[in-house]
Amino acid sequence: MKNSKSNSKADQSDDDDFKHTHSNNFKADGDYMNSLQNARSVLAKLEKTIYKTSKYETMLSRCKSGHTHSHSLNELWESDFTEDTHKLKSKTEINRNDVARSWSTMSIVCLQYQYDELTKRYESLLQAFNERCDAVNTRDNALNDLQKRLNTCHNEINEVHKTLITVCDKYLALKYKKNVQLSSLNVKIEKLKNTIKCVLKAAEQARIHFDQQLACYLSKEKDAISATLLTEITICNKLFVENLKLKAHINELTSDVRN
């Protein structure tokens, strides 16, 4: 009876191990490493269960041998109860054999079920792992392509930057040269303007002096034709000087518009 109780407790403990293993199998999350650890734990429990099953079968065999020896002693000392005891122990052996067979069958079925579930889980995880690897490889290839494009754009930008610096240097040099030339031209233009003003002033003074001489000659002239000629000369001198002033004014306005 003690062996039967110990066997029933051990069977219950193994059932708990299988239940625990079974629940762990269905509580596995999507994390790959945790699933692998679960699989290792389940395999360790399966090995432990196989070891316990073998141990229990050995214990049952020993119980059978002890029971046979006890039965021989009872035949010597208790011959009156031989038949009843033999029937009772035969039933006990049958029950124990049935329990052992049912336990072995249940262990094999559970192990086969656990193995099938682990195989399916392993294949699923392997497929997911391969898909993740393919996705990572695709992403790495895309990143490599983008890196190549980035390097190409960077090189093009450097070339454009160098060209832009060269153009800017040339532009600044030309601008400086232009400014120098404009400064020189402005100085020359100012000199020319001053020269024109001096010329106009001299022409105006010469016209006045010449008009005074013509007026003196005209006052002494008796001939009408000569007097008319002197008058026309005075008018022409005045118009000539006015024409010079107009040209100078036009040139000044033109230079202001260009500036």
**What is the pLDDT confidence band of residue 34, given thresholds at 50, 70 and 90?**
low
**What is the pLDDT confidence band of residue 161, given thresholds at 50, 70 and 90?**
very high
pLDDT digits (tens, 9 = 90+) for 216-240: 877 777 777 877 887 888 888 888 8
pLDDT digits (tens, 9 = 90+) for 175-221: 999 999 989 988 888 888 888 888 888 888 887 888 788 788 777 77
Say what the pTM is: 0.38
Rounded Cα distance, 90 and 68, in Å: 10
Rounded Cα distance, 59 and 8, in Å: 13
The number of CA neighbours under 13 Å toward the Cβ of 32 is: 11
Map out the domains of the chain as residue ranges: 2-157, 182-258
Rounded Cα distance, 18 and 20, in Å: 5
Continuous H helices in the chain: 2-26, 32-77, 82-220, 224-258
pLDDT digits (tens, 9 = 90+) for 7-28: 444 444 444 444 444 444 444 4
